[in-house]
Amino acid sequence: MPGDYVSIGGFLGVSGHLVAVPYDSLVIDDTGQKITLPGASKDELKKLSQFNYPAS
């Protein structure tokens, strides 16, 4: 399933973690400046499994 990765928690990219979300769930505004995930709260996103890039 193709998707994108969203950083959850942390501050300025520190101490957060990534979760995978499907591309088709993301909504881009008319100006192309803002991407949202309708219906997703911080608490719901924190419940998702953490994504880790595969070791090379």
Task: Give CA–CA dist 34/1, Å, rounded.
Answer: 23
pLDDT at 44: 82
Task: Confirm whether pTM is higher than 0.85.
Answer: no
Spans in the chain with pLDDT lower than 50: 1-2
pLDDT at 2: 47
Please report the pLDDT score of residue 43 as a whole number.
82
The amino acid sitting at 35 is: I
How crowded is the C-beta side of 40, counted as CA atoms within 13 Å?
Answer: 18
Tell me the DSSP string of 5-48.
EEEESSBTTBS-EEEEEEGGG-EE-TTS--EE-TT--HHHHHHS
